[in-house]
Every structure is written in structure tokens, then in C-alpha cells.
């Protein structure tokens, strides 16, 4: 099966590194014009220079800070006044780690702005063109923790679960417009985020980061951490015409980590 996204325009959040970068690279390799979006301009420029460029492709980047909701709202609204997208990948950095007893109401509000309001606003703006064109792909990067909460990620557990249930409702509403909405439940991938979480966990448990990673790998049935490229491949499939009948789903991409059905 040959996946071609030629003529499609994609907007990928959190694409200066990790999973977001891998998604952007694969979408570009499949022919889409990609707009990168993150807060570090130097990293964005570096990724932009690495993207495949073919006939008709035009890549760009947008510098935003997902933690500054007011500033983000202004910038993303201005972007959509000029541009439209066919493929939207909602992906931001995660909120700070910590258990339920560590977090206060203000922490949950900040996480809500970061993970929920950002996704809803960006999707709302992207849907105008998608509905007019009667074609669109909305792909939300979520986490396995929405099914099996991780004790040290109370904020992420809570707010990402809200995103997933909202997206299920949205999929029903926009289905008649031939727009699909899917959530990816992310397991362990080799990214800076995993390294940061492992460092915090190692400190809490009084063990080495190597031991934390080894324990993590042992819990995954395939006995390894995922390569971000593998994530990019799957997102590219979901963004294609071949995946037109897949919507309203919560799909684990976790090497079999989740124990629940």
C-alpha cells in the first residue's frame, strides 16, 4: 500500500522534537505540506531543514507557547486567518509530573488550559476549512494513562481523559462531513519527555535512571521502548484516504503495554 498525502496541508503541534517531530517528518515524506508548531524557534528551524520537499510542498513553522493560552489563542487565530489545514495533529508537551495529593486546583486549571482548551480551540479553527472541503483528519496525541492511570501523572491522567471523551463526541458530529477524529494512546517512546519522567521517578525511588528504564522495558510485551518513527508511520496512515472509515477511536500505540481491553 502506497500512502500519498500530496496536496494535503498538515499542522503538527509539539513538532520540534520527539513524537511530534517524527510525525511531521513522515507526513512530509508522504507528500504533505507541513506547518511545525512549538516554542523553540531554533529547534523548529532545524527540523524544518530536515523535512522532505517534493513538488508542490511548502513547509513552514509557527512559534507558540502552549503554556501561555492567551498568547497561543492570538497566534493560532492569526494563523488560521491566512492558512487552512486538512490534517491536524493535536500534540503538546505534558504538564508537570506528580501525584494527586501533590497537585492543587491551580495546577489542574493550568493543565486544562494546556491540554484541553488548546486542543479544542485549534480544532475549532481547523474545522471551518475541513467542513467546507468535506475532508479532514483530526488526530489527538493522548496517553495510555487515560485507560490505566499512572500514579505520578495525576494532571495528565485527568485532562487527557477529558480530551478523549470530547473527541469521541466530536467524531459523531463531524462524521457526515467525512472528517475523522481519532485519539492515540501513547505508551513508552524514546523521547526527552520519557527521560525527564524517568529522572524524576529515579529520584523518588532512590534508584538509577538505567534501572527505571529497564523496569519500564520489562513491562512492555515486546520488551523495548518505542521508536518515534513508528508513531509517525501510524499517524500517516490515519491521515490518509485509506483510513477514511476509522473514526471515534482510542487506539493504543504501546507495544502491548495496556492490560485492559
Q: pLDDT tens for residues 241-259?
A: 999 999 999 999 999 999 9
CB 235 within 8 A of CB 3: no
- Does 137 share its domain with 172? yes
- Does 144 share its domain with 154? yes
- Does 197 share its domain with 71? no
pLDDT reading at 88 higher than 90: yes
Query: Of 136, 137, 11, 118, which Cα lies nearest the Cα of 73?
Result: 118
- Does 90 share its domain with 215? no
Cell readout for 231 is 508513531
- Does 207 share its domain with 134? no
- Does 46 share its domain with 166? yes
Position 26 in a domain: yes
pLDDT reading at 187 higher than 90: yes
Predicted TM-score (pTM) of the model is 0.95
Per-residue model confidence (pLDDT) at position 199: 87
Q: Regarding predicted confidence, which is higher, 94 or 88? A: 88
Share of the chain above pLDDT 90, in %: 87
Per-residue model confidence (pLDDT) at position 76: 98
pLDDT reading at 195 higher than 90: no
- Does 197 share its domain with 161? no
Give 134: exposed, middle or buried? Use CB within 10 Å, 0-12, 13-18, 19+. exposed
Position 260 in a domain: no
pLDDT reading at 1 higher than 90: no
- Does 98 share its domain with 193? no
Position 131 in a domain: yes
Please count the structural domains in the chain.
2
Cell readout for 192 is 526527552
- Does 216 share its domain with 142? no
The CATH number covering residue 154 comes to 3.40.50.720
pLDDT reading at 197 higher than 90: no
For residue 100, what are the domain limits? 9-187+228-252
Number of H helices, E strands in the chain: 9, 7
- Does 122 share its domain with 209? no
- Does 174 share its domain with 217? no
- Does 48 share its domain with 88? yes
pLDDT reading at 39 higher than 90: yes
| pLDDT tens per residue, range 48-77 | 999 999 999 999 999 999 999 999 999 999
The C-alpha atoms of residue 127 and residue 111 are separated, in whole angstroms, by 24
Position 2 in a domain: no
Position 118 in a domain: yes
The dihedral sign for the CA sequence 203, 208, 210, 213: negative
Mean pLDDT over all residues of the chain?
95
CA atoms within 13 A on the CB side of 146: 21
Mean pLDDT of 31-36: 98
Per-residue model confidence (pLDDT) at position 94: 85
Q: Which segment of 159-168, 208-217, 226-235 scores lowest on mean pLDDT?
A: 208-217
Position 3 in a domain: no
Amino acid at each position: 500500500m502506497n500512502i500519498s498525502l500530496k496536496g494535503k496541508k498538515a499542522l503538527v503541534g509539539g513538532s520540534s522534537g520527539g513524537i511530534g517531530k517524527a510525525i511531521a517528518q513522515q507526513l512530509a515524506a508522504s507528500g504533505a505540506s507541513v506547518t511545525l508548531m512549538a516554542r523553540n524557534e531554533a529547534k523548529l528551524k532545524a527540523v524544518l531543514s530536515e523535512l522532505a520537499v517534493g513538488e508542490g510542498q511548502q513547509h513552514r513553522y509557527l512559534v507558540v507557547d502552549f503554556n501561555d493560552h492567551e498568547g497561543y489563542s492570538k497566534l493560532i487565530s492569526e494563523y488560521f486567518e491566512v492558512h487552512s489545514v486538512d490534517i491536524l495533529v493535536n500534540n503538546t508537551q505534558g504538564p508537570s509530573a506528580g501525584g494527586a495529593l501533590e497537585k492543587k486546583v491551580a495546577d489542574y486549571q493550568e493543565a486544562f488550559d494546556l491540554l484541553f482548551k488548546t486542543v479544542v480551540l485549534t480544532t475549532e479553527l481547523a474545522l471551518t476549512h475541513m467542513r467546507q472541503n468535506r475532508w479532514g483528519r483530526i488526530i489527538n496525541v493522548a496517553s495510555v494513562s487515560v485507560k490505566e492511570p499512572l500514579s505520578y501523572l495525576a494532571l495528565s491522567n485527568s485532562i487527557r481523559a477529558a480530551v478523549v471523551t470530547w473527541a469521541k463526541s466530536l467524531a459523531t458530529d463531524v462524521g457526515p462531513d467525512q472528517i475523522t477524529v481519532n485519539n492515540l494512546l501513547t505508551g513508552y517512546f524514546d523521547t526527552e519527555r520519557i527521560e525527564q519522567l524517568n529522572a524524576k521517578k529515579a529520584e523518588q525511588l532512590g534508584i538509577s535512571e538505567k534501572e527505571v528504564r529497564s523496569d519500564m522495558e520489562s513491562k512492555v510485551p515486546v520488551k523495548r521502548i518505542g521508536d518515534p518513527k513508528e508513531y509517525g508511520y501510524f499517524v500517516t496512515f490515519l491521515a490518509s484516504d485509506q483510513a477514511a472509515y476509522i473514526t471515534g477511536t482510542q487506539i493504543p500505540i504501546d507495544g502491548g503495554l495496556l492490560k485492559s481491553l
